[in-house]
Every structure is written in C-alpha cells, then in structure tokens.
A and B are shown apart, each in its own frame.
Chain A
Amino acid sequence: MAKKRPIALLSELASHKETFGGDMPLAPGHRMCIGCGIPPIVNEVLLAVDKPTVVATATGCLEVTTGVYPVTAWNTPWIHVNFQSTGAVIGAIETAYKVLKKKGVIKDDEDIEFVAFGGDGGTYDIGFQSLSAAVERGHNFLYVCYNNEGYQNTGYQKSSATPIGAYTKTTPVGKARVGKQEPRKDLTMIMASHGIPYVAQASPHVFRDITKKVRKALSFKGPKFINVLQPCTLSWRFSPEDTMRLAKLAVETLYWPVYEVINGRYWKVNIKPKRVKPIEEYIAAQPRWKHVLKYPEIVEKIQKEVEEKWNLLLHLEEMSKKLAEDEGIDYEELFKAPEDKK
C-alpha cells in the first residue's frame, strides 16, 4: 500500500511539544494497537480546546487502554463510569460545575470545558438513550464518537454503525448470509435532528478540519456532537501505516462525507472531492469487507446508499443557503471558526 504518509506518527506528534502547545492530553504509553486511529482523534480534539478540560469516556478500546491501574495516560481530569451512560455522566459533571459556580464553591474565573468520547457501540447503540437525553436537556458539552464501525474491544462484533455486507464475529460470511444484512444507521443525521447547536462529521486525516470543528463547536453553549470515522487496523485488517490512507479513501469515495450542521437547520459540506473514487477502492482496502466485491448486488446497494446520502447532503446545503438568505443570515459567516469571524 501507499508509502506516502501525509500525517506524522503519534510518537512524532508527542515529541513536538512546541508545535502542539505543551504536553499531549493523552500521553504516549497507552496500550492501543499500533496504527489505531483513536489516539490521533483524541489528541486532535483535545489539543483544539484551549481551556482545562474534564473528559468522560465510555467503556471500549480507548478506555481499557488508557487508564490501567495504577497508571494512566490521561493528562487531564478523566472519568469512565460504564459503557452506556456517558451522556448522563458528562452532563452531570457539567451541571455540578454550574451549580458549584453559582454557589461560589468554584471561582468565577475558572472556565472548564467538558468533552466525552464514546465508541460507536457506546454511542449508536447501548449509550444512545443516555446521550439523546443529555442532549435534550441541553447540558454544555462536546461529545465525540470515534466510530470504528464495530465493538472492537470485545473482538469485533457488529454495531449499528457497521456497514452492510461487512464481516464481524456476529455477522460472519457464510453460505446462507454474507456479513451484516442491514445498512449502517446514520447517527449524525439523528443527532442533527435533535436541533442542537452543532453537529459534524469529520475524518482524522484532516486534523485542521477537526481543530476548526472543535473550536467552532465550543463557541456554542449547549450540546455538541462530532462523529469521527476511525479506521481500526486490527479488525478492518489493514496494515498499521495505512490508517490515514483508509480515512482519506473513505472521504474520497463519499463513504464518509465531512460536513457540519448548525442548529439542525444549516448544513455545509466541508470536503467535496474533485475526483470521486469508486467505492470499490475503499472496500478492497479492507479484508473485513472486501468479500462483498464478489456480490455485485451488495456493492450496488452500498453505492446507492452512498450516492443518495451525498445528494441529500448537497441539497441540504443548497437549501440551507436559501434558508439563511431568507432569514437575513450570512451563511458563510455562520460556519466560520471563531478566530476567523468578523
């Protein structure tokens, strides 16, 4: 596979203190697989936050590998309670902060941000109720889903983020069935339907985009949600140096559109590939999925899903521009990062 590496390795990132403004929030020395997409996502997100940050994490690969008693990789206050109620946990910590500030227990000038990380299992499935409820209550936090399209910590079972046809341990490829039978759920759309201030999809290979999105998200009070596709070298079964290449391919084949939504009303597609690559190229790069190339009817379904979603997003974007115009809102200004605003 590709020899070109567009992004530095984590160890290189970690040694660039001057570039990345001090110690990494998630220090090297954790136990994630070599080439795992999670650490760059976590550090890209947390390095974009310029205030002290309390982090909550759902059970999953990130959690089991970073706080292993009696050591921790976290350079920031961190809590893991369980698999399924990370929304409630981060919301309650933020509420505690609010009430303790009101009571004068915490000083006025102590500004803290609240960020949660959950895998797709802990976000799309078992933790969805708790997240949806926390978002409905309007707590001030940012929730980031690192989406590796399966329950990786338990050895790769299907989640509702797993794409159609993909092999997992609960959706094997057999004579009667070929991998997962259902298409993936679109959680980003569902989160946007909550009408919260900020929702986005992002990919770790463009970390400038993640930085911008996090800064933008935090400029809003209330719940914010970012869904980041995270290639998993172990279960998708590509070689560790190809993580970012996989992420890039997902975007170039329109499999993972990079976009953002403000107030569930205004949509903007951030990356529009000049030359869209065929979905087969992305599928072929993943042994967990490439068997579907033998089944044209499945590939067709995937192609259709991807195209339809892309078209919908482009229409939503056009619609948003008109809507903003009708309402006398400057559409471009709306999507600017706080530092670029007029």
Chain B
Amino acid sequence: MAQKKVIALTGNQAAAEAMRQINFDIAAVYPISPQTELMGFFAEYVANGEVDTEMIAVDGEHSAMAACIGAAAAGARVITASAGPGIAYMVENLYVASGMRLPIVLLDVNRALSAPLSIHCDHADSMLTRDSSWISLFSENAQEAYHNIIMATKISEKALFPIIVNYDGYIVSHSIEDVEILDDETVRNFVGPSDIHRIPYPLLDIKKPVTYGATAQPDYYTECKYQQHVDFLKVYDIVREVFDEFAEIADVKYDFIEEYKTDDAEYIGISMGSSFGTLKDVVDILREQGKKVGAIKIRLFRPFPVKEVAEALSKAKGVAVLDRADSFDGIGGPLFKDISTAVMMSQNRPFIHNFIYGLGGREVKEEDFLKAFDRLERLEKGIETRDRFVEYLQVRE
C-alpha cells in the first residue's frame, strides 16, 4: 500500500516533486513567469543527483518543444513546462509532436498572452493548444496538479499522444497548500521504468531504421489525419483507465468532469482551474438562499467530455459558462463553444450564457459569480434580455 505524507507546497513545488518522483529522462527548460521557479526547484534535484534526468537548457520554447520531440522520438521520457508567450512560441511544434504520435508531458502554468504584457493568469495560452491534438488536463489546485502530472505521464504513453497539464499561474503555482504526496516507489511503479520500447518505433532502435517527419502529399495527408482523428477518440477510454488505476494508489477517484450539487440543479455554472473553489462557495451561498444551483468543473479539456457534460446538463434550465479567455469572434469564449456543443446533445437543451472573467490575473470574488448566476436566471426567465451570448463579468466600462 502506498505511503503518503502531507506537506505544505506551492503548485510549482508540487509539480517539481512529481517530476522528481517520475524521474523523467529529459527535461527541456526555458524560463518564463510563472513557470520559472518550477524548473529552478527541479534543477536543484538535478544538481544534487536526486534524479537521473538530463536537463537541456534550450534557447527558447520553440527549441524546447523541438528537443522534446527529438528525445521522445529517440525513446526517452520527456517533459517541458512553460506559460503564456512561451506556449505561443512553441505552437508550431505542438502540432508536430501530436502528428508524430509522441508521448510528451507539457506543463502549462497558465498565463495571459501579450499585448498588453501580463505575467498573470488566464487561459488564453492553453486555448492556443486546443485544436492541436494534445490531450489536456486542467488542475484546480496544487494537489490536482501533482496528481495530474503523474497520471499524464501514463496517459500520454498509453495513448501515444502528447499531453498538457494546466495549472493557474500564481494562483496555484505560487500559493502554498497542503499536498498529499505519494511515496517515490509507488509513483515509479505506477509510471514504469524508462524503456525506448514504450513507443513502437524508437529512433534509437538502430536495427530498425525508421523515418519520422516525412512529408505527405494530398494523396495521403487526409489518411494520416484520419488515423490521428480515430485514435484521439480512443483517448477517452485510456484516460478513464488511468484514472481508475490511479484511484488504487491515491484513494481519489477522478472523472472527466467534477459535478457539485448538480443532481437537482436548475442553474449550473461551469469553469476550469482554480476558480472552481470560488464557484462551489457561491453554489453553497445560493443553496442557503433556497436556490437550486450547481457547478461543473472540466478536468479533461481535450478530448472534450461532450457526452458527460451533456448528461450533467440534461435536467438544467440554464447554464453559465465561465471562460477565462476571450475568442474575440462575436460568438463567445472557447469553453462556451464546447459547452454549446454539449448542450446541443443534451436532452432538454438548457438556456446558455457566457461570462468572461479573470483575465490577466484579475482576482475572482464570490460576488462576481453571484452576479453571473443572477444574470443567468433573469435571462432564462425572460426578466432581462440580451443582445449577445457573451458578457464580461468584471470590467470598468
């Protein structure tokens, strides 16, 4: 049975601890706030010989992802971490990584995109990755970030797709919480040892020369993408399998989404990341006032758990989608579109409205989400009207 201990750690420290325990073969690193100190913590482990990991301090995030691709194709277990502009800089290579079907773990310590420059949290960076065929998990707190990294390593290798673990910059990365840490042996057994044959075609298997990164003409490109499409749909089952296996060592049973008091809820708020704690508090406040409200957190963001969300919304009257990023497209935030798709598939197609909040680190208060529920209910009941689906929650106009 796994030994556990509870220690006070920041999100970045918890992530570094997971990295130490997994003992990745390669970590490609490049500094950017709020990720920077994570790799600083990890560098200490490397410097003290506590891991076998080779750190490659590259010249930028584009090279960081290229290094991950090269090393992963070689057969190594690899990780990198970044935020905001760093994620934007590596986007070209994200598509290369998934197209080559390489297991890679990327930690996105969520940060806003410039301009204006902001080092603080929102989810715009991660939204750049949403169509890249990377698996994507969001973490609410340091505990989940720690667990997600361990599970992600295994999910990625089973699925042969790269994976992103998101946790909110500063709010999670720099806040101290109690984190329950598993013992090293349990984690190492869970992920298994380094082995180039974890992937079917390692470059370093010199007896079987393989070609990675060929061009494909119009006669084959579609078939390549179709294979990717079909296999990405298999990721749901793999994620569930790994969540189940993880439950056996960590005593937490994760699911694609987390539901809070949704059973009889008429109005449901949906968010991702650290704001879910505030959202649950708001549900409690409203419940005390006799309102039937609930909340949903998206843990598995890609592939999107559209069936599970549709099911969870099947009895609701109204849904408030809380987006920590804008799409600037006249429709709504990125999460709003995903939830809208789920609503299309749900039984009674609840009323849906979109709120943008928490941009560039804007603090989220209970009163903000109270406002969202209030507006949602009035809109749904026809007391108020709207001329667009999306509204900013916290703004000085």
Decide whether A and B are members of one complex: yes
Contact with B along A79-108 (1 / 0, CB 8 A): 111101111111111011111101101100
Once the chains are docked, how many angstroms separate the CA of A178 from the CA of B360?
50
- Judge whether B215 and A96 touch: CB under 8 Å: no
**Interface residue? A211 (CB, 8 A):** no
Interface presence of B216 (CB below 8 A) = yes
Q: Which residues of B contact A52 (CB under 8 A)?
A: 206
Is the CB–CB distance between B214 and A67 below 8 Å?
yes
Does the CB pair B204–A100 fall under 8 Å? yes
Contact A93 B74, CB 8 Å, known A80-B214, A81-B213, A102-B52? yes
Question: On chain B, which size bracket covers the interface?
Answer: 35 or more
Residue-wise interface mask of A (254-273) relative to B, using a CB-CB cutoff of 8 A (1 in contact, 0 not): 00000000000000000000
Q: Given A69-B224, A91-B56, A99-B53, is A105 in contact with B215 using a C-beta cutoff of 8 Å? A: no
Q: Is A76 an interface residue (CB 8 A)?
A: yes
Select one of B64, B70, B75, B217 contacting A81, CB under 8 A.
B70
**Pick from A76, A79, A85, A99: contact of B63, CB under 8 Å:** A85
CB-based contact A95/B54 at 8 Å:
yes
Known: A67-B213, A100-B25, A106-B204. A82 touches B96 (CB 8 A): yes
Task: Report the interface size class on chain A.
Answer: 35 or more
Q: Are A78 and B220 in contact (CB under 8 A)?
A: no
Given A92-B68, A130-B59, A137-B56 in contact, is the A99-B26 Cβ separation under 8 Å?
A: yes
Chain A residues, CB < 8 A from B73? 79, 93
Most buried by A among B75, B211, B217: B211
Least Cβ–Cβ distance between B78 and chain A, in angstroms:
8
Q: Which single member of B54, B57, B66 contacts A130 (CB below 8 Å)? A: B66
Interface flags for A56-83 (1: CB within 8 Å of B; 0: not) read: 1000000110011110101111111110
- With A77-B203, A103-B194 as contacts: A67 and B26 at CB distance below 8 Å: no
Complex contact A78–B54 (CB within 8 A): no
Q: Counting CB contacts under 8 A, is A112 at the interface?
A: yes
CB neighbours (8 Å) of B62 from chain A are: 84-85, 130
In the complex the two chains form, what is the Cα distance from A339 to B241 in whole Å?
A: 57
Contact present for A87 and B63 (CB under 8 Å): yes
* Closest residue on chain B to residue A106 by CB atoms: B204
C-alpha gap A67/B26 in the complex (Å): 27
Q: Does A299 touch B at the CB level, under 8 Å?
A: no
- Tell me the bound Cα distance from A91 to B52 in angstroms: 18
Interface centre among B64, B93, B193 (most CB of A within 10 A): B93
Cα(A74)–Cα(B28), bound, Å? 28
Which residue, of A88, A96, A100, has the highest number of chain B Cβ atoms within 10 A?
A: A96
B228 to chain A minimum Cβ distance, whole angstroms, is 13
Please tell me which one of the listed residues A78, A91, A110 contacts residue B209 in the complex, with CB atoms under 8 A apart: A78
List residues of chain B with CB within 8 A of the CB of A102.
52
- Against A, the Cβ 8 Å flags (1 = close, 0 = not) of B58-89 are 11101110111111011110100000000000
Q: Which residues of B contact A63 (CB under 8 A)?
A: 213, 215
**Does the CB pair A79–B56 fall under 8 Å?**
no
Query: Are the CB atoms of B203 and A100 closer together than 8 Å?
Result: no
Residues on A with C-beta less than 8 A from B203 are 54, 77, 79, 93
A80 with B204, Cβ < 8 A, contacts A92-B66, A99-B54, A137-B56 known: no
Q: CB distance A93 to B206 under 8 Å?
A: no
Asked whether A303 is an interface residue with its Cβ less than 8 Å from the other chain, the reply is: no
Partner of A99, one of B67, B76, B224: B76
Q: Are A89 and B26 in contact (CB under 8 A)?
A: no
A133 touches B210 (CB 8 A): no
Check B195–A105 contact: CB distance below 8 A.
Answer: yes
**Beyond A77-B205, A95-B71, 6 additional pairs, beta carbon < 8 A:** A56-B70, A68-B214, A89-B66, A102-B52, A103-B52, A130-B66
3 closest cross-chain pairs (CB), A and B: A133-B59, A85-B66, A67-B214
A-B contact pairs, 21 of them (CB 8 A): A54-B74, A70-B214, A77-B209, A79-B213, A80-B213, A82-B93, A88-B66, A89-B70, A90-B70, A92-B26, A92-B68, A92-B70, A95-B67, A95-B71, A96-B25, A96-B78, A100-B75, A105-B194, A112-B206, A129-B63, A137-B56
